[in-house]
Amino acid sequence: MIRLDHVDKTYRTRRGDVVRAVEDISLVVGENEFVTLVGPSGCGKSTLLKLVAGLTEATGGAVSVRGRPVSEPFADVGFVFQQPVLLPWRSVVDNVLFSVEMLGLEPRQYRTQAAGLLELTGLGGFETKYPRELSGGMQQRVAICRALLPDPGLLLMDEPFGALDAMTREEMSLELLRVWEERRKTILFVTHSIPEAILLADRVVVMTPRPGRVARVLTIDLPRPRTMDLEFDGRFKDASDEIRSLIFAARKDRR
């Protein structure tokens, strides 16, 4: 579904310095595949998501989605960020409807679906509440519902659970998997957490920083549906060790 071909992205800072955000990235993501991107800060993971969404243009190589070259934003993408960035003046259900509204669709026709999504993510009964009345985890669920409502084929998630506490984080990961089992779509998921990357993914893309490159792509063949118990599985531990050594090896090279 997504194809990145030797993609480079360099940009200039205000002071005129040239920064190479990502370099020579080649990656193919299949339809309905769950791929996580893991790596330390500054490895261009967020840039990669923006390239796929068409929010920024590659300076080298080619990005295509479903065979079409990406040069500007296209419908069929849902975005979830580290911060929920809800609109504080809108109720929960109106925040969910924001996505279809911005897409130029008729929000009234999506009310039932919005309520269904809120039900699915455990927010049934919270439709008329306001964001400030919700906890961080609940706000992020609303943001996920907002992204899911137009039923995009592609979901881009930029450290969506990064601002949550560890317990809420695990809960949200499992919940995301449950939602994904029900409504399959392609997910590109950026994270700092190695266990999170393994738990969720069909494949984990390990990246190294400055400039961001793909160090290795690991296939995770753990059975689904997945649970937290998998952390004690040998295969989980092997994958985790491998990712860690890739990231730390890259760090040692720098010294």
By the rule CB under 8 A, 108 interacts with another protein:
no
Span of 23-31, 86-94, 116-124, 244-252 interacting with another protein by CB under 8 A: 86-94
Binding test (CB under 8 A) with another protein, winner from 2, 43, 48, 53: 53
By the rule CB under 8 A, 28 interacts with another protein:
no
Main-chain phi, psi angles of 52, to 5 degrees: -65, -35
Binding test (CB under 8 A) with another protein, winner from 85, 217, 228, 249: 85
Number of residues forming the site for another protein (CB under 8 A): 24
b/e 77-97 (16+ beta carbons within 10 angstroms → b): bbbbbbebebeeebbbbbbbb
What does the per-residue mask of binding to another protein show for 131-170, with x meaning CB under 8 A?
-xx-------------------------------------
Sheet holding 18-29, edge to edge: 18-29, 2-12, 60-65, 68-69
Q: Encoding tokens for residue 229?
A: 């118990």
By the rule CB under 8 A, 101 interacts with another protein:
yes
Nearer to another protein, 79 or 161 (CB): 79
Binding test (CB under 8 A) with another protein, winner from 16, 88, 225, 234: 88
Q: Give dist(CA 171, CA 188) in Å, integer.
A: 19
Main-chain phi, psi angles of 254, to 5 degrees: -75, -20
Minimal distance, residue 74 CB to another protein, in Å: 8
Q: Give dist(CA 111, CA 127) in Å, integer.
A: 10
With beta carbons less than 8 A apart as the criterion, state whether 191 and 168 touch.
Answer: no
What is the binding site for another protein (CB under 8 A)?
50, 53-55, 73-75, 77, 79, 81, 83, 85, 87-89, 98-99, 101-104, 130, 132-133
